[in-house]
């Protein structure tokens, strides 16, 4: 799941940002009569563990994936344990700090199958927005949140026309996958409003 691979931030911030994705393998397990039921069951499990964000339920019946975002590794561990126990036969991908994910995988007796790493950004980096704004925009892997939207809400917050929490919720809306972390966005917006980039 490379669209959640490029999240930016320091290690402490990223310790509060984990994405779980469940996905069919096209042509392998997506055609079984109970495939959709299994994927929906995974969505229910994710939802029962109180994610900070999750793909809307209306999409569970049509999407080949279901995604959710969590803010702590212990909850991710509980989700992994439950998914292992239910053994639904659907691929699970977890994005976050590799060291943390490896640690909890060992604790629930799972082996990592594949690891994807981001090699960073190449090209004309001077055209990019500030690192702090990128910390927000990269939380939507399909880039449905522009740096202009972030700057717009920063100005509204400074003018006291909107709260930081409401701005984070509005920024999360275009990310229909449910991988945007509004809790982290609040923290980053607070920093940006104070003029720290």
**pLDDT score for 29:** 84
**pLDDT score for 3:** 79
Tens of pLDDT, residues 1-35: 577 888 999 999 999 999 999 998 888 888 777 98
**pLDDT score for 45:** 98
**pLDDT score for 193:** 94
Apex 41 CA angle, 177 and 34, nearest 5: 110
**pLDDT score for 151:** 97
If we measure between CA atoms, which residue out of 33, 39, 69, 38 comes closest to residue 53? 69
**pLDDT score for 1:** 52
d(CA 90, CA 177): 18
Domain 2-107: assigned CATH number: 3.30.70.1150
pTM score: 0.93
Tens of pLDDT, residues 103-118: 999 999 999 989 998 8
Domain borders along the chain are 2-107, 125-193
Q: Which residues contact 159 (CB under 8 A, 6 or more apart)?
A: none
Helix H or strand E segment including 99: helix 98-107
């Amino acid at each position: 799941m490379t669209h959640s691979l490029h999240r930016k931030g320091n290690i402490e911030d990223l310790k509060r940002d984990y994405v779980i994705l469940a996905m069919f393998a096209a042509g392998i397990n997506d055609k079984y009569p109970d495939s959709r039921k299994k994927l929906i069951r995974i969505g229910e499990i994710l939802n029962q563990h109180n994610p900070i964000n999750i793909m809307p339920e209306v999409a569970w019946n049509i999407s080949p994936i279901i995604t959710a975002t969590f803010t702590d590794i212990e909850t991710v561990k509980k989700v992994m344990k439950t998914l292992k126990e239910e053994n639904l036969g659907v691929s699970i991908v977890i994005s976050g700090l590799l060291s943390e994910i490896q640690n909890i995988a060992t604790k629930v007796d799972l082996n990592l199958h594949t690891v994807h790493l981001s090699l960073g950004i190449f090209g004309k980096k001077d055209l990019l927005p500030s690192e702090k704004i990128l910390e927000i925009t990269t939380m939507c892997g399909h880039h449905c949140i522009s740096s202009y939207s972030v700057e717009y809400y920063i100005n509204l917050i400074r003018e006291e026309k909107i709260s930081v929490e409401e701005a984070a919720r509005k920024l999360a809306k275009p990310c229909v996958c449910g991988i945007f972390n509004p809790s982290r966005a609040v923290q980053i917006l607070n920093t940006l409003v104070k003029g720290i980039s």
